[in-house]
Amino acid sequence: MSDPTVRVAERLDILSAETSEGAQGLQERSKTDKDELGREVGAVLRLSGLTLDPNDVDYERRDDETMIINMGPAHPSTHGVLRLMLELDGEFVLRTKPVIGYLHTGMEKTGEVLTYVQGGTNVTRMDYLSPVANELGYCMAVEKLLAIEIPERAIWIRMLMAELNRVASHLVWLATNGMDLGATSMMIYGFRERELILAFFEKTAGLRLNLNYVRPGGVAADLPDGWEDDVLVICDTIEARTYEYDELLTGQPIFRNRMIGVAPLLAEEALALGLTGPLLRSTGVAWDLRRTMPYLAYDQVDFDVIVGTYGDNFDRYAIRLNEIRESVRIVRQCLEKMPGGDYRSQDPKVTPPPRARIDESMEALIHHFKLFTEGFHVPVGEVYSAIESPRGELGCYLVSDGGAKPYRIHVRAPSFVNLQAVPLLMRGGSVSDAITVISTVDPIMGEVDR
């Protein structure tokens, strides 16, 4: 009797049928039509129409000269379960097609089953490097539908946590980007600094990751007392350490050869592809939602928007490194200007009453019971609210039919759109450049596949 745990198939093609994604993958050149071939080669529409400069796209290349290979889901440097089908001519990448969906969790379907109170836990697991950004986008959409005002202190606490989360996300990017280029010590430094921030998150929200701290109507809990010197320690250490990373990486010849001038991007192409975040700013377009369409209290805080010039890998690295310093600057200003008052809106329909009052007043008990079993009702309507997450514009489109559960929740994930720049940036570079392209585009598969 064959061992039940061993998966044998009489013919290998039965096995291969299970993991091949057929039409979603890269087909031979003879089977792909001109438009799709242009897309896979990375030709991007410019204002003057689809520019497929003939010498760039060589249709007549025969299939046996090139090799189609998988840089598949279980790959150390694809930052998660991204599968890239590459057509290689020796060492150089001719065509790329990202095949995604290997982490599709049906979060938008689960979002329709959970009430508004529980929605935060589902949304926070999308971009698992910056959970506060997801919750913030979702809660701002719900609050716009509810049309309630949240107290001053909640606004500033949200800004503080969002910026700390941006620093943590960029630190992980620096770490994995360093490891992709062989600087494994950067991996250790990056995660060492991040532990400081995670310790503070654990102290305020009780969890290191997936905090569910930002809730519709304000914040789950007030900041722990003595949080000022925690945040001060974080700001000083990380500010000093960024100069250490600068010293470690920027002067390093291998790092420079693999990052400077590799995978340049034009502003026109970035806008046509709908890219946002550090990818768009690296091409010189100064678009940062915190500055151009300020939300929360970003207009009362002084910070710089970092913009690149060449749009190549090095610019994206420089942008993210300096954005850490900007975020630390914002955190310092939040530290000074943090107002007093309550941390959650006092509207009983939205915020559950404090535990102590439940035993005293019957009405508080009813509110508590209704809020946590059925959740609060949101008036009919639809809204799109967008914030600036570390990877770009994170939008939340919410449709409510008056019930306690969102009728439709769609999260516009910045990584999902930024991933479309990968064929364009990889075209013509070598496979080692492909690794740096994936790293600087910084896709998070939880957010891409939702």
Partner 1 sequence: MDARRARHRKGGNAEVIPLPPAAPPGVVTADVMASDLGCFPTTEQYFGLVRAFKDDNFEMCVDLCAVDYLEHLDRPLPDGVAGTRFEIVVNLLSLSKKQRVRLRVQAGNDEPLVDSLFSLYPGTEAMEREAFDLYGVLFANHPDMTRILMPEDWEGHPLRKDYAVGKVPVQFKESPGPR
Partner 2 sequence: MNVDQYLSILGLLILGVLFASGSFVASALLAPHKRPTDAKLAPYECGIVPEIEPPQRFPVRFYLVAMIFVIFDIEVVFMYPFAVVFRQLGAFGLVEVLVFSVTVFAALLFLVAEGALTWGPIKHLVPGTPSRTSSSTILRIGADPEKAA
Partner 3 sequence: MALEDLQHNFLTGQVEDLVRWARRASVWPATFGLACCAIEMMAAGAADYDLARYGMEVFRNSPRQADLMIVAGRVSQKMAPVLRQVYDQMMEPKWVISMGVCASTGGLFNNYAIVQGVDQIVPVDVYAPGCPPSPETLMHAILTLHEQIRTGEILQRRSEGRPTHVEAQSNVWTPDVPVTVRVGTPK
Residue numbers at the binding site for partner 3 (CB under 8 A): 3-9, 15, 18-19, 21, 72-76, 80-81, 101-107, 109-110, 113, 121-122, 125, 128-129, 172, 175, 187-192, 194-195, 198, 208-210, 445-446, 449
Among 61, 191, 209, 264, interactor with partner 2 by CB under 8 A:
264
Number of residues that bind partner 2 (CB under 8 A): 63
266: left (phi over 0), alpha (psi -120 to 50) or beta: beta
Q: Does residue 287 interact with partner 1 by CB under 8 A? A: yes
- Using CB under 8 A as the binding rule, whether residue 37 contacts partner 2 is answered as no
| DSSP-assigned beta bridge partners for residue 85 | 70, 97
Query: What is the pattern of x (binds partner 2, CB under 8 A) and - over residues 238-257?
Result: --------x--xx-----x-
Query: What are 397's strand-pairing partners?
Result: 384, 410
Closest approach of partner 3 to the CB of residue 218, in Å: 23
Q: How far apart are CA 21 and CA 223, in angstroms?
A: 48
Pick from partner 1, partner 3, partner 2, none: which does 384 bind, CB < 5 to 8 A by kind?
Answer: partner 1
Q: At what angle do helices 313-337 and 431-441 cross, to 10 degrees?
A: 20
CA 367 distance to own-chain centroid = 36
**What is the Cα–Cα distance from 411 to 447, expressed in whole angstroms?**
9
**Could you say which of 200, 314, 343, 376 contacts partner 2 (CB under 8 A)?**
314
Q: Are 109 and 126 in contact (CB under 8 A)?
A: no
Binders of partner 1 in range 107-166 (CB under 8 A): 108-110, 113, 144-145, 147
**b/e map of 405-442 (b: 16 or more CB within 10 Å)?**
bbeebebbbbbbbbbbbbbbbbbebeeebbbbbbbbbb
Binding site partner of 339, from partner 1, partner 2, partner 3, none, Cβ cut-off 5-8 A by kind: none
Which lies closer to partner 3 via its Cβ, residue 263 or residue 445?
445
What 227-236 contacts at long range (C-beta under 8 Å, 24+ apart), as own/partner pairs, is 227/200, 227/203, 228/335, 230/199, 230/200, 230/203, 231/160, 231/164, 231/200, 231/331, 231/335, 232/335, 233/196, 234/164, 234/196, 234/197, 234/200, 234/331, 235/328, 235/331, 235/332, 235/335
**Per rule CB under 8 A, is residue 74 in the interface with partner 2?**
yes
Which of residues 348 and 381 has its CB atom nearest to partner 1 in the complex? 381
Q: Which of 126, 139, 183, 321 binds partner 2 (CB under 8 A)?
A: 321
Rounded Cα–Cα distance for residues 409 and 397 (Å):
6
Question: How does DSSP classify residue 219?
Answer: E
Least distance (Å) between residue 338 CB and partner 1 = 23
Select from partner 3, partner 1, partner 2, none the partner in contact with residue 273, using the beta carbon and a kind-dependent cut-off of 5 to 8 Å.
Answer: partner 1
Chosen residue from 24, 257, 309, 361 binding partner 1 by CB under 8 A: 24
Alpha-carbon torsion angle 208, 209, 210, 211, nearest 10:
30
Q: What is the DSSP letter of 430?
A: B
16 scored as a contact of partner 1 (CB under 8 A): no
Rounded to an integer, what distance in angstroms lies between the CA atom of residue 156 and that of residue 295?
11
> Which region, judged by CB under 8 A, interacts with partner 1, from 164-172, 271-279, 306-314, 436-444?
271-279
Which residue bears the tokens 């610019």? 315
Q: Contact between 304 and partner 2 (CB under 8 A)?
A: yes
- Give the residue with the Cβ less far from partner 2, 309 or 346: 309
Residue that the structure tokens 């304000």 belong to: 218
Exactly one of 1, 6, 23, 362 binds partner 1 (CB under 8 A); which one?
23
Q: CB 276 → partner 2: shortest distance, Å?
A: 16
Which residues of this protein are in contact with partner 1, per CB under 8 A? 20-24, 33, 35-36, 38-39, 44-45, 50, 100-101, 104, 106, 108-110, 113, 144-145, 147, 271-276, 285, 287, 292-293, 295, 380-386, 393, 395, 397, 399, 401, 407-408, 410, 412, 416-417, 419-420, 449-450
